Amino acid sequence: MPAPSPSLTDYIVAFCTVAIVGATIWQMCYVRTQTANLRVQTDLLYRAMQLTQNEQRAWVGITAIQPNWDVSPPMIKVVLTNRGNSPALKVRHEVRLITKPLDEPFCCDDITNADPIPKGSTTALLPGASYNVAPGLTQGQAIVVLQALQVGHRDVYLFGWIEYQDVFERCHRTTFARYALDFPPVWAHTDFYNEMD
């Protein structure tokens, strides 16, 4: 018996099936494209938020190193300043001053092997505000440093770190290491341990 020829209903069912399958495939592709676009937009939004936070955050660093030889014991003041646009919170610091023989280079071991000292007090630093910190030197240590600077028979190094939190609750750490050139000293950067995040 010969197969019956397709009726108009069969053509309509076949056409609707193809249309539904095609629409489903198109919709899946469209959803996939929209998902990819959403990911790109989310990434751009995140990057814009990071840029805005970096623009508005606190940036604390050293703005000056000021010796004062007229006091007893002589001291070296380090000025920390917030150059950012919002307060620096929970600011802590450590500042060290050491002398070394002229032929002995300053290295990472000098930093890691330094005797532990109490960390600086926790405080807040408003935008544009500064405060002074100083390495804790005894009278004898201060005289040795002053003589090393004046006579030039030893190198003098100043190093330390500053830790703080920005208003976006992100933690930051600035490290610094300088050495004295001539007298009165001009403080130059060492080749390492000078970083700011």
Strand order in the sheet with 75-82: 60-68, 75-82, 130-133
Which residues of the chain are modeled with pLDDT < 50?
A: 117-118
Of the candidates 162, 156, 176, the one whose C-alpha atom is nearest the C-alpha of residue 94 is 162
In degrees, rounded to 5, the angle at the alpha carbon of residue 68 between the alpha carbons of residues 64 and 71 is 150
Token output for 33: 């494209």
Is the separation of the CB atoms in 79 and 65 below 8 Å?
A: yes
Token output for 73: 């014991």
Tens digits of residue pLDDT in 26-52: 999 888 999 999 899 999 999 998 888
- Radius of gyration of the chain, Cα coordinates, nearest whole angstrom: 33
pLDDT for 93 equals 87
pLDDT for 165 equals 92
- CATH among 1.20.1050, 1.10.10, 2.60.40, 1.10.3470 for 60-196: 2.60.40
pLDDT for 117 equals 47
